[in-house]
Amino acid sequence: MPEKLINVIKYKNPRCITSIEQEIVHEYRLVDKEAKIYRCVYCGAEYAVK
């Protein structure tokens, strides 16, 4: 699992700056390697990889 994902996950959180500003990249960091959970660096939304 990579430590960082850029423009791979396109999560639609209406409160996230990436939903408003089109030029901002979608950046997620790995927070739990075993559970395969990534967290948005801007809003903190979590995304679990299946």
pTM listed for this prediction: 0.84
pLDDT band at 36 (very low <50, low <70, confident <90, very high): very high
Q: Give me the chain's average pLDDT, please.
A: 91
Q: Which domain holds residue 10?
A: 4-48
C-alpha distances (whole Å) from 29 to each of 12, 21 are: 17, 20
CATH number of the structural domain spanning residue 33: 2.30.30
Q: How many domains does the chain have?
A: 1
What would the 3-class secondary structure string for the chain be?
CCCEEECCCCCCCCCCHHHHCCCCCCEEEEEECCCCEEEECCCCCEEECC
C-alpha distances (whole Å) from 37 to each of 17, 22, 23 are: 20, 24, 25
Range 24-32 average pLDDT: 95
* Tokens representing residue 30 in the block: 């790995």
Q: What is the pLDDT of residue 11?
A: 74
* Tokens representing residue 45 in the block: 């939304």
